[in-house]
Amino acid sequence: MMLENLLQQFTAYLGGAPAAALAAAFFGGVLVSLTPCVYPVLPLTVAFIGAGSAGSTRARGLLLSLIYVLGLALTYAALGVASALANKVFGTLTQSPVALLGAGAFFLIFGLAMMEVFHLPMPQALTNLQPRRRSGAAGVFLVGMLSGLIAMPCSTPVLLAILTHIAQRGGVAYGFGLMFCYAMGFGVLLVVVGASAGAIASLPKSGAWMNWTKRLAGLIIIAFGAYYLYSGARALSGGQGPAHDHDAFITAHGPEAIRERIGDKPAMFVFFGSWCKTCAEEVPELNRLHDTYKDKGLALYGVDISDTEAKAREFIKKHDVKYPVIWDASREKIAEEYKILTTPTIMIFDAAGRRVYLGADPPARLHAHIAKALGEPAPATPRTEPVPERTGRALLELTIIGSKSDPAFHELVRAAESFEDPHKEIVPLDAAADAARIAKTPYHPLDRPALFACLVDVACARPITDPAKADRALRTFIKNFSGVPDDGALAPDAGRLDAVQ
């Protein structure tokens, strides 16, 4: 559905850096303010601002417009704070089939009422609101707060996307800021009108155009209702819900997301990063494992331990990941808890919560371990296709990406140069000057300089951002990955991480 695709795109922008998320929320508010179903609110807005600024200067009209928008912003910012405090509860509620069906029914009734199929009485509090000449700032502020509630039906899909993101990300200040930016975007048009001399008086009066606008608004709201009814029905029947489906993309803030999925049924976790070439290459085989074993009771999850939300979603879309993905918003807590040193790394648990496998073998070699987790005999053919043996010493590629003006970048380069390994290759890349070269690698710049260490065509370590820990992290990576001393040959069963506890 087009609406679902647009919401997925909008959610991806929200998942970027905080500055990008704030900008996305602001422009989302601007776009919502241009939808026809907001127009019926304008007469109330214009009446109060016009009454308050009649016979006054342009400055007073601008001031009252800003006060009105601040009132509206306070309403939405309060929702952001509530969503941040509710955290997982809000996110779960927005994906509940009952909540989705209820929202669909509400929009359907509201849309039919706007099309005048039947009459829906206006709340008495709003009916009694009358604009007065020289309305005070307090009155305009109050009307701004109320108009935020009136305009919500049209903006609900965008609002839910933002509020669900806030609930997943957490942080009261972040939630307040994101919704405040959304409200300011929503109010841009009103501020422009208020600042224009005579603009309020020259706006068209209510008439036939308003009736047609209301009907168009009703159609849009009915479309939203149909979308939520459809999503609720799919969720109720076991299918996926709307764009932010928690069964397909799970936001985690620590290892609890893993713990709560261990012990209920056999589970397999594949730890990865979007910059890891091997991780991307193994997705098709992991998709086949997911399709083969999901009906036998195995729950397979990808676990992104180092990316932004936008990069994680981009990886899922680009490589057509079919299994659910857990994204660690902290980008470190899950990896630290389970001592994940490389990507890809795989953990498999049986239904009793016992770990039956920890390693990085190719997916085609995992059938016997999965059978053990399921309590079944080992399959006669443990792989779906031939898997080449890994022999010889893999090249250790050390790629440093960041700004060359940042001292940490040069410290990481020195750490890579001082690391003793006869098979290393060091590639320092400036995030700005070498953007074209970086685009051709499987890596991407993080929010600070990082060292990406990979045993080429085997596996990669977690990004290293602390120069002081680089030497130890690299030695641990090579030792635990190959199971041999740093200067030894790569073992035939390279990829096993059984030594990592």
**Which tens digit of pLDDT belongs to each residue from 48-94?**
665 544 555 567 767 878 888 888 888 888 888 887 776 545 555 55
At 345-368, the pLDDT tens digits run 899 999 999 999 988 788 888 998
C-alpha span between 359 and 347 (Å, rounded): 7
C-alpha span between 174 and 157 (Å, rounded): 20
Give exposure, 122-143, as e/b (b: 16+ Cβ within 10 Å).
eeeeeeebebeeebeeebbbbb
Cis peptide before 377 (omega within 30 of 0): no
Looking at domain 249-374, what is its CATH homologous superfamily? Answer: Glutaredoxin (3.40.30.10)
- Which one-letter DSSP state was computed for residue 464? B
- The tokens for 349 are 């648990």
Annotated domain spans of the chain: 2-236, 249-374, 396-482
Handedness of CA 63, 64, 66, 67 (dihedral sign): positive
Contacts of 325 (CB under 8 A, 6+ apart): 248, 249, 250, 301, 302, 303, 304, 312, 316
pLDDT recorded at residue 188: 84
> In 3-state terms, what secondary structure has residue 407?
helix
Question: Strands 355-359 and 450-455: what pairing?
Answer: unpaired
Q: Answer whether 249-374 and 396-482 agree in fold.
A: yes
At 186-210, the pLDDT tens digits run 888 777 766 564 455 555 555 666 6
Helix (H) or strand (E) holding 355: strand 355-359
CB atoms within 10 A of CB 301: 19
At 213-226, the pLDDT tens digits run 667 767 777 877 78
The predicted model gives 384-398 an average pLDDT of: 59
CATH code assigned to 396-482 = 3.40.30
pLDDT recorded at residue 246: 38
Contacts of 105 (CB under 8 A, 6+ apart): 225, 229
C-alpha span between 267 and 297 (Å, rounded): 8
Where residue 401 falls (left for φ over 0; alpha for ψ -120 to 50; beta otherwise) is beta
Contacts of 235 (CB under 8 A, 6+ apart): 95, 96, 97, 100, 241
- Is the per-residue pLDDT at 424 higher than 80? yes
At 264-314, the pLDDT tens digits run 789 999 999 887 878 888 999 999 999 999 889 999 999 998 777 888 888
Contacts of 30 (CB under 8 A, 6+ apart): 185, 186, 188, 189
- Is the per-residue pLDDT at 25 higher than 70? yes
pLDDT recorded at residue 448: 83
Higher pLDDT, 181 or 17: 181
- The tokens for 126 are 């709003």
- Which one-letter DSSP state was computed for residue 393? P
